[in-house]
A and B are shown apart, each in its own frame.
Chain A
Amino acid sequence: MITFMLNGKEIQVEVPPHWTLLRLLREKLCLTGTKEGCGIGECGSCTVLLDGMPVNACLILAPKVEGRRVETIEGLGSRESLHPLQKSFMDHGAIQCGFCTPGILMSSKALLEKNSQPNREEIKEAISGHLCRCTGYHQIIEAIEALKE
């Protein structure tokens, strides 16, 4: 049994010790917004925030999140109140197939929380761990840039 904060709520859940956080989220907690594109830490589609830092959920063993704070795409915004990043991604054409989108949104959130005025190079750096095969990244970068204060 592990206890952690998930999208602002404390939860307790039974999980086999060899399960990854990604598997826990997707299979047990039915949070399928976090994607698995490779399973080995190379594509970034499984990115969630752990205590505010972007991590590859496919590389984190579930028991490691005990007592910590996990944020996933499901906690980012809702239909009623979209996170500005979600809105900006939609408006800038930053979403094509959308498979990379949840992970990149989470990394972008972490970036903007740390640095509200990122320049293009900093944005590129922040999302460089994410593969996107559809967009060529430009509209994603523009969507993030548009949120500079």
Chain B
Amino acid sequence: MNMRQVGIEIPKVDVLEKALGEAKYGADLPCQEPLHLKVLRSPTSHAKIVRMQMEKALRVSGVERIFTAKDIPGKNLVGTIVKDQPILASDRVRYIGDAVALIAARTEEAAEEAAQKVVVVYEDLPSIIHPEEALHPHAPLIHEKGNLLLEFHVIKGDVQKGFKEAEVVVEETYTTTWVDHAYLEPDAGISYLDEKGRITIVCPTQNVHYDQKEVASVLSLPLDQVRIIQCSTGGGFGGRLDVTIQCLLALAAFHLKQPVRIVYSREEVFQVTSKRHPLTIRYKSGAKKDGKLIAIEVDILGDTGAYASYGGTVAIRSAVHATGPYQVPNVKVRSRMAYTNNSWSGAMRGFGVPQMAFAHESQMDLLAQALKMDPIEIRLKNCLRVGSETATGQTLTASVGIGETLKKVKEWRDKLSLLKDDSKKPFIKKGVGIGSMWYGIGNTGIANPSTAQMEIDPDGEIRLFTGVADIGQGSDTVLLQIASEAIGVSLDEIRLIRADTAVTTDAGATSASRQTYISGNAILDAIKNLKHSAIQEASQLLNIDENDLFFENGKVKSRTCLTTSIPLREIAKRCAKILKGEGSFDPETTKLDPQTGQGVPYATYAFATHLAEVEVDTESGKVSVNRVIASHDVGKAIHPQNVIGQIMGGVAMGTGFALMEEYVPGEKTSFVNYLIPTSKDVPEVIPIVVEDKEPTGPFGAKGVGEPALIPSAPAILNAIAEAIGQRIYDLPANLERVLGAVQKRKLA
């Protein structure tokens, strides 16, 4: 197929207004004399609320009202799957930062002052800090139903037999910590009643239709009385999948019947938004002498903190991805997620897979080392291919590009080893490491639909409707490219109407790297239906049998009479009505067996391999990542520059995950003590895009958003191990840990 709109380099559709500084983010939204909202939060990690005294706070000049849990008309619990998180705590707080009251005032200063004057009397309860402690039979309960949020297993073959046959076995324990999304735009937004009296919330988000359901439930309103509009969103990375400010804004606007505004400070964002789950992963792998994996046994324990959020999802996805992109005949994985009184963890770019990849890739290198094999060779020997069966019993039928990503990286690596030279500074040690990954596109083994509409009106305007939230990754552009390619008109002829619950339908979340694949397919379905109705109309207008007509390049044409052709716009004009196509797509998956995890969790997978070159200063512990070769099988790059942008950003975030990022619950955190990579910390990146087309993907596309990050940390950690001859099992590999490892090596 000769494609005109797919696979080309064009500026994204939203970048002009961003370059001009005109794009409106949450705190930029114009709003007529809003009241300012401020949240009063728990200073303690687990306590009963004995009483609250508002009198003094209410006397602060400018204060309009102070809301507590009693003011919530509907259900005071939210959560993506398990609803256990109160908007405002009623009787009990479960982490440092839990919201207890919401102040509305005429100025920010008055709201601040009032917040300091509210008196809350707490009675401390024992706090649980470690997930193991939480699962102890006599542990105090954080939620009534118990401290185990979810336990999930993946069982295949016979692990005991597998380990008996194994000729080499390695077993280690890996830990990861809390990581903040650190999206650059602090959460902020406004709420007001629109002209139809609907509670309207304009804010950054990754899923307007989910937000709408939560707000409606909290306010006990019918869905159509709540409208969510996504404004320009300064990043997400999973952190804006849960509701953050939406319900607070809505609650205030609902009662006060006037516009309200909230702007979180950076410190507040750190304190109260979700984090990456810390996981403890005990991993045992067995292989034959030739390097073939024969069995793995993995135990995963995660800390979801005070609330469920995506904890269950992460537990399941971690287990399903535990093997890494390899064929393993005997698998036993147990994955548990526990509540604690730490900050709550949620979705973050990869849903547990980055943590798992750190473990399985360290194991692969340990096996290679034990067998004196080349790290790329052992991976090539084991990697999935067409026809392989995964740990959940799914047979992969197409688009399994892991081998190709490894081969591409190997070509680079082989060139490098020639270049490798000894440094003049003997305390600087160099190393090269490999990390591979696989990532299932979309939600895990559950329905995962998207919907879209495409229409053309008699005046000739072509419109694409989608509920998809573009959070900077470029879905607006990619979806328009898919639409314009499929319908055969240029991109700027299509008007995009997006991410507003009043005018678009549910496309699901911008998460799980799913929007190109799933919403892209929903749009293709809408266009198929639009073409069908155009052909029907044309058949009547031209008095030609439908079967003789076909659609090409924005026109309906006749198969037999080659001169007969009528443009889409002409059809709409002549029949004087809106031609419309409804579309939907839900990838083919099956529910996973609750005992064994067997089933088809995803319709397709993305694959990637990174190679990292590092230098370790063994005197200071500083690791410099000089270069990353990042090879990604994306199916088909709809917008290659965007794909590369995702890879570059993913490597940077992966470098932070590997070396520096660590959030400590309850500590006052800002960018002073939570460091993310700057322009001086990021490696040179050589992106390699492998296009092993996915037959069910739009033009062959899969996804890349999360895969971009996943292999970086494993590759960096493997490179550090090679450089200093000692492996680090806990992330991040910060100065102390690197120095500790250097020390350990010396003693050994």
Binding site for B on A (CB under 8 A): 26, 31-40, 42-43, 45, 72-74, 76-79, 82, 86-87, 89-93, 95-102, 105, 123-125, 127-141
Contacts and interface: CB of A to CB of B under 8 A. Distances in A.
A44 to B, nearest CB: 9
B670 A138 contact: no
7 contacts: A33-B20, A42-B672, A74-B21, A99-B235, A135-B645, A136-B650, A137-B679
Contacts of B27: 26, 32, 35-36
Nearest to A89: B19
Given A90-B15, A128-B679, 20 more contacts: A37-B234, A39-B265, A40-B670, A42-B672, A76-B20, A77-B19, A86-B20, A96-B474, A98-B14, A99-B183, A124-B680, A133-B181, A133-B182, A134-B235, A134-B473, A135-B648, A136-B648, A138-B648, A138-B685, A140-B679
A125 to B, nearest CB: 7
Interface string B471-492: 1111000000000000000000
B266 interface: yes
B contact patch SS = loop
A125 B16 contact: no
Interface string B2-15: 00000000011011
Interface in B663-705: 670-672, 676-680, 682, 685
The 4 tightest CB contacts between A and B, nearest first, are: A33-B21, A97-B472, A98-B18, A99-B234
Given A37-B185, A99-B185, A128-B680, A133 B235 contact: yes
B653 interface: yes
B15 A139 contact: no
Interface string B621-650: 000000000000000000001101100111
Interface in B645-665: 645, 648-653
Contacts of B644: 93, 139
Contact of B266 (A39, A89, A96, A141): A39
Contacts of B266: 37-40, 43
B273 to A, nearest CB: 13
Interface in B439-465: none
Contact of B16 (A31, A42, A90, A135): A90
B28 interface: yes
Contacts of B181: 133
A92 B12 CA distance: 10
A95 B15 contact: yes
A42 B673 CA distance: 10
B184 A45 contact: yes
A40 B270 CA distance: 14
Contact of B651 (A35, A123, A136): A136
B237 interface: yes
Contacts of B679: 123-125, 127-128, 130, 137, 140-141
Contacts of A99: 25, 183-185, 234-235, 472
A12 B422 CA distance: 63
Interface string B184-227: 11100000000000000000000000000000000000000000
Given A36-B27, A133-B235, A95 B682 contact: no
B184 A100 contact: yes
B60 interface: no
Given A37-B186, A97-B233, A97-B235, A131 B21 contact: no
B33 to A, nearest CB: 13
A98 B680 contact: no
B184 A42 contact: no
Nearest to B235: A97
Given A98-B15, A99-B234, A132 B680 contact: no
Given A32-B27, A102-B21, A138-B685, A97 B185 contact: yes
Nearest to A123: B679
B569 interface: no
B363 to A, nearest CB: 28
B667 to A, nearest CB: 16
Given A90-B11, A96-B649, A136-B650, A73 B676 contact: no
Contacts of B472: 96-99, 134
A36 B671 CA distance: 13
Contact of B21 (A34, A127, A138, A141): A34
Nearest to A91: B11
Contact of A98 (B182, B232, B671): B232
A43 to B, nearest CB: 6
Contacts of A125: 679-680
Nearest to A86: B19
Given A90-B15, A95-B15, A97-B471, A132 B184 contact: yes
A139 B645 contact: yes
Given A37-B266, A43-B184, A124-B679, A79 B15 contact: no
B498 to A, nearest CB: 15
**Chain B CB within 10 Å, residue with most, of A96, A99, A123, A138:** A96
B414 interface: no
A125 B21 CA distance: 23
Contact of B670 (A32, A42, A134): A42
Contacts of A90: 11-12, 15-16, 19
